[in-house]
Each structure stands twice: as C-alpha cells, then as structure tokens.
C-alpha cells in the first residue's frame, strides 16, 4: 500500500490518496510487446487501470479514474510498479555530455531516491490573481489532458501549452462560464506565465532529472529522466521470447497458459532457472 503525492477528487468531493498495486504479470508484458507506442499517455492509462487494484474507496479502479489522475501521480505509480517488478535498485548507462569527454557512464540509484514533492494546498480547483489583476480559477493537468494533447506536442509546443491552459482554466473573472481556447490565447504572455507557474507550484511533482558523475573525467552533469520511457523501456518484452518461456514451462510442468501468464516475470524466471538446473543435473547423470 502507498499514498499518492497528489490524489484523486471524486464527483462527491472526496479525496482518494491511498492505493494498492497489483504486480505486473505476463499479460501486461504481452500487452507491452504488442504495443506500437508504449510511451503514450493512453498506454499509461491502460497499464495503470490493469494494475491499480484500489484507490481510496474505489475498487476496482476503472480507466476513467486512472485517466483523471494528476500527471505526477501517474508517474509516481509507474515508479512503484517498477519497484514491485524489478526491485528498488536501478542501473543505467549514459554518455558524458562534456565535449572533451563523451565517455559512457554507468550509474546506479534507487527508485526511493527519486525526489517526489507532494501537492501544496490540496483542492479540486485553485484560484489566483495575477500581477495585472486577472482573477482565474483552474484545475491541475491530468492524464486525460496528456492523452488529448500528446499528438499536438511534437507538432507545435506553443499551441499545445495554449490547449492545456484552455482545458485547465475553468474561469476568468468576471465571466462565470469556462473560457474557450481563444479567451486563453489572447491573455498577455506574462499573465499566462504566471498562471502556468501557479499550476506548477500547486501540483505534486516527480523529479525529471538525475545528477550523475562521470567516472572518466570526474565532472557531474544532469541527465533527463523520462519516467514513462524508463519504465516501459525496461519492461518491453519481445513477444517471441515471452511465448517461448510460456511454452518451456507448459511443456515441462504441464501448466496452462492462463496459469503461466498470471505469474509475475520474477516468479516465471525463477521457475525457468530451477527447471534449467534440474535438466542440467539429469543430463550430466549426477
């Protein structure tokens, strides 16, 4: 069991933060193996909806709830799934960015050491007044916003930020109706920047950079840490290799595909190792 750095507000105004995760199984690996774009926000929603067993009083947790989780909460859950699947220790290989070095660097850190900042002033919506007197009410970005805007980010980042604000800004005084995209787009750049900063200050966060030291030149540098790509990169399994493992265990133990695919990767590999050792002993005649 764990606690989200932010939390989910349901339609009745109740905050849900405590969660329970189910460990990833062969079925999730199969899903990853067949995915064309496993790094997308929609795919994060799919994985979390399979593995989030409970969120507060909500169980099971449907996709419409995991979709509405705050961005940092979704990143935090991916880190916890990584810990449950591979353990706390993480190894990575990077290239030293200093021009006169450029050597490959191996680093090791723990999932628990990744800085996580909890939300400030938890509430379903927030209000602020900018320096030019603009009064706004907004909510914080969610996975649903990422799903809606992810395709536009690679095309036009500025337009995507405008779209995000248009989705999250709920009111611009003195008007009571939610503003449309044009109303947000015509706000002064300084005003928009203040609103974005206000959202950032109130939102939980998972650190997206890591400090590393080059063993060759001895200098430190900051390396980007994309939680989505890191998580799905480690878990991406070749479908052929997965099915070979299933066949291997089914052939020798006579277990069904359903039983084997319901196992975690660690449990499946443990049985494969035990079986391989037993076969080696039989073949050696000892």
**pTM for this structure?**
0.84
Instruction: Please say if the pLDDT value at position 12 is more than 90.
Output: yes
Is 90 exceeded by the pLDDT of residue 3?
A: yes
- Is the pLDDT higher at 237 or at 117? 117
Paired tokens of 22: 């189910």
Are 164 and 145 spatial neighbours (Cβ–Cβ below 8 Å)? yes
Three-state DSSP state, 75: helix
Residues 70 and 159 in one domain: no
Same domain, 68 and 109: yes
Is the separation of the CB atoms in 267 and 249 below 8 Å?
no
For the segment 168-217, what is each residue's pLDDT rounded down to a tens digit? 999 999 888 888 888 888 999 999 999 999 999 999 999 888 888 888 88
Same domain, 193 and 212: no
CA 62/CA 49 separation, integer angstroms = 6
Check whether residue 88 and residue 105 sit in a common domain: yes
Q: How far apart are CA 210 and CA 28, in angstroms?
A: 28
To 10 degrees, what angle do helices 143-153 and 41-51 make? 150
Which candidate, 68, 51, 70, places its Cα nearest to that of 59?
51
Asked if residue 195 and residue 217 are part of one domain, the reply reads no
Q: What is the pLDDT of residues 205-252, one digit of tens each?
A: 998 888 888 888 888 888 887 787 777 766 666 778 889 999 999 999
**Which structure tokens are listed for 179?**
């503003």
105 and 210 both lie in a single domain: yes
Structural domain of 103: 2-117+206-235
Same domain, 44 and 144: no
- Of the ranges 105-119, 182-196, 250-264, which one carries the lowest mean pLDDT score? 105-119
- Per the structure, the count of domains in the chain is 3
- Asked if 245 and 178 sit in the same domain, the reply is no
Q: Please indicate, yes or no, whether residues 15 and 93 belong to a single structural domain of this protein.
A: yes
End residue of a domain, out of 203, 220, 248: 203
Q: Which residue has the tokens 């990422």?
A: 146
What does the block give as tokens for 56? 């507060």
Q: Which helix (H) or strand (E) holds 45?
A: helix 41-51
């Amino acid at each position: 069991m764990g606690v989200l750095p932010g939390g989910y507000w349901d339609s009745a105004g109740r905050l849900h933060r405590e969660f329970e995760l189910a460990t990833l199984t062969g079925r999730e690996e199969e899903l990853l193996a067949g995915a064309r774009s496993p790094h997308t926000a929609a795919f994060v929603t799919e994985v979390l909806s399979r593995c989030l067993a409970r969120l507060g009083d909500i169980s099971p947790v449907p996709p419409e709830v995991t979709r509405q989780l705050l961005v940092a909460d979704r990143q935090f859950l991916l880190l916890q799934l990584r810990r449950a699947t591979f353990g706390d220790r993480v190894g990575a290989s990077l290239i030293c960015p200093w021009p006169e070095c450029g050597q490959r660097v191996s680093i090791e850190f723990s999932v628990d050491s990744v800085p996580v900042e909890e939300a400030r002033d938890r509430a379903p919506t927030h209000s602020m007044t900018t320096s030019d007197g603009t009064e706004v009410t907004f909510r914080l970005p969610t996975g649903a916003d990422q799903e809606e805007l992810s395709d536009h980010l690679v095309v036009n980042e500025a337009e995507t930020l405008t779209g995000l604000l248009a989705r999250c800004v709920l009111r611009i005084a003195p008007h009571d109706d939610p503003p449309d995209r044009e109303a947000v787009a015509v706000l002064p750049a300084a005003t928009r920047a203040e609103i974005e900063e206000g959202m950032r200050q109130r939102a939980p966060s998972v650190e997206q950079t890591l400090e590393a030291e080059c063993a060759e030149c001895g200098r430190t540098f900051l390396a980007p840490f994309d939680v989505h790509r890191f998580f799905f990169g480690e878990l991406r399994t070749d479908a052929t290799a997965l099915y070979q493992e299933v066949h291997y265990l089914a052939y020798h133990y006579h277990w069904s595909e359903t039983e084997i695919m319901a196992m975690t990767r660690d449990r499946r590999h443990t049985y494969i190792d035990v079986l391989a050792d037993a076969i080696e002993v039989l073949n050696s005649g000892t």
